[in-house]
Structure 1
Amino acid sequence: MTAVGGTSVELPSTRSYTVYIDPGHGGRDSGASYGGVHEKNLALSVSNKLRENLLQYGINVLMTRTGDYDVDFKTERSRMTNASNADLFISVHFNATGAGVSNSTGIETYWYQYDPEYQPKINKEMHNNPTRLAESEILANKVQESLIKETGAVNRGVRRETFAVLRETAIPAILVELGFMDNPSELQVIKQDSYHTRLAKALAQGVMNWYGAVEGK
């Protein structure tokens, strides 16, 4: 019995549980950069804390990167995941509008939306699989709900996109955007290690709530 957010999630002991975490960007790809803060470093910090939370729940964890190095986002992150026995995939990012200084704020979570302009390269069989899509939607909702409850951030909702890591990954997959780096006041919050701890706690709770939902079907 695993306690999650004041509730209990019963995970059967008859199999192992594995989550694949994808810290966005890395190496030469810094992602968004504002005020000397790089998205790649924020994403890795949260991902490492998420790993520790999940390990405490008895979940096995794999990661697309564990340091500051290049990992191709178009197919390599998904290829690594697809070659594993992972149950789900979470890509960790921080947001920016690309328009300089912004007033945008909040957290949003994405799951896959098919777009005929972007055909899958390595996931033609599973990208639109109904079970994968249904479980991705559940995962997105459980994680978003947990993030907003824990942080009190503005709820930008659950959205759909054809991001490569969502399109090419053959298992339930989401991408989280954990706050706007080009909003100076929000950046002061999201760069804090203590906030990363809260984000990781919320992500882990969302994952455990997903297991409770899909294992109980």
Structure 2
Amino acid sequence: MSRLLLPLPMAALLSTSALAQSLPPPRIGDQPGFARVVLDLPKEATYQIEPLGAALRVTLPNQTVTPGLHFVSLPELAGYVLEQHEDQAVLILLTPQGVTPRSGYKTMTLAALQGEGQRLVIDLSGAFVDTSPLLSFPEFRFVKSGGRRFSVVVDAGHGGPDPGALGPVAEKVVNLEVALRVRRFLQNAGVEVIMTRESDTAFSPDKRTDLAQRVALAEGKDLFVSIHANAAVPARADGWCGLEVYYHSPETTRPFFPSPAPLLPTPPSLALNPLEALEAAQPPSMQGGPLDPGAQPSLEDPGPIPPQSLPAPTPQMTSLRRMELSRTLAARVLSYTLGATAAVNRGVRSADFFVIRYTSVPAILVEMGYLSHPIEGQNLRNPHYLDRISYGIARGILEYLENDHPFK
């Protein structure tokens, strides 16, 4: 009887032994601007990758791993979890900067360094965004304007003797490139656009005078939108990336994180209100604050404000109302720019920047990415990505004008 039963248990034992050999733990590398995860797999292994927002899940059929939680503490990878579900191994990568089907990670499969296996390489970074060419700007028709023409001031930050932040490209250069694209999109939709500069110039070599004259252009207009690129201190340069939009508030308020708007146009009556989703997934910490030299004069020694250049607030709009509308405009612009780029959401934030504090109309300051980041700095040289940023800013402005802006 034993002779009849031996072959089956032995075969089962051999099969279980072969299956029970666990995969080695993933190898983690810290690279400039991204984290690299390498999985050593058998040659015949297959896998499925699913972006889950705050995590990236890798499912490995017919493989085994040793379950456990492992902390890494990189800006792009907080840690990872290994799980075993019957005959499937699962690796869950915890991604503070987030992953979507369009952003946050890249993969490639390489031959093993030794033997006949393979390597699954997963690179993680919030700066991996959608840089594909943008389709033509959709036609936008105002429904609620009643025949009036909106007027918007578009401010390309810095210029002339002030380069702004420096990276693969000077901030003043990329600010102007995006501002000119925004102007084209808005003009095609029938909006009057006033530029604070159309070339590498400034109103004055004195920064405070220059900013005051930019602000003065907003008098009697509908909106003021200032376009900037950011920079971080060297210790944070590899980790900080993404989009943020500022509005002025007399007190520091908590940032909020509107959801990305759909890229395709929606009817005005169905347009997304980003204020309905203020508490989306939290982005990376902003401890220490961003650096954008020249976005405002020095707060340590502000000096006199040129009185001849600053308009008085219009009587039709109180400072509180202006703040509320600026906040709504900021949410619109960030929501549509996130939808166009799939970039990291750093939120709508309040600040005391000169150009948004002293305007007489709703005003925002857009920080469209970090020139100091090894990858995002290169993104800001990519014309397709600049098209997407410009589309998002323009589309957010148009949606605000159609749905939120009060009529005079």
For Structure 1 versus Structure 2, the TM-score category normalised by the shorter chain is 0.7 to 0.9
Matched, 1:92 2:227: yes
Alignment-mate amino acid for residue 138 of structure 1: T
Higher normalized helix content (fraction of residues): 1
2:363 corresponds to:
173
The TM-score with structure 1 as length reference comes to 0.87
Question: Does structure 2 retain, via aligned residues, the 8 Å contact 1:50–1:204?
Answer: yes
Superposed CA RMSD: 2.6
Question: Which of 46, 71, 80 does residue 217 from structure 2 map onto?
Answer: 80
Question: d(CA) in 2 for partners of 1:39 and 1:31?
Answer: 5
Distance 2:369 2:176 in 1: 15
Once the two structures are TM-superposed, the CA of residue 154 in structure 1 deviates from its matched residue by 0.2
Partner of 2:31: none
Task: Name the CA shift for 1:215/1:69 in 2 (closer, same or farther; >3 Å).
Answer: closer
Distance 1:128 1:103, change over 3 A: farther
User: CA deviation digits over 1:59-107, x for unaligned, max 9?
Assistant: 010010011012344411101222xx32001000001013364320100
- 2:145 counterpart letter in structure 1: P
Do residues 16 (structure 1) and 206 (structure 2) align?
no
Q: Does 1:206 align with 2:386?
A: no
The CA deviation string for residues 94-141 of structure 1, in whole angstroms up to 9 with x for no partner, is 0101336432010000000226x8898635646961221111011000
Match of 1:42 in 2: 174
Question: 2:234 aligns to what SS in structure 1?
Answer: coil
Ranges in structure 2 where 5+ consecutive residues have no aligned partner: 1-136, 252-298
The verdict on how the C-alpha distance between 1:158 and 1:5 changes in structure 2, with shifts beyond 3 A counting, is farther
Task: Tell me the secondary structure at the aligned position of residue 194 of structure 2.
Answer: strand
Q: Relative contact order (alpha carbons < 8 A, sep ≥ 6): 1 or 2 greater?
A: 1
Of the structure 1 ranges 70-79 and 125-134, higher mean CA displacement relative to structure 2 is found in 125-134
The corresponding residue for 1:25 is 158
What is the distance in 2 between the residues matched to 1:108 and 1:186? Answer: 14
Per-residue CA deviation, residues 38-67 of structure 1 (Å, 9 max, x unaligned), is: 000000000000000001100010010011
Larger deviation, residues 126-135 vs 180-189: 126-135
2:241 aligns with 105
Identical pairs, percent: 31
Q: Could you say what secondary structure the match of 1:47 adopts? A: helix
TM-score between the two structures when normalised by the length of structure 2? 0.48
CA distance in 1, matches of 2:403, 2:386: 26
Paired letter, 2:401: Y
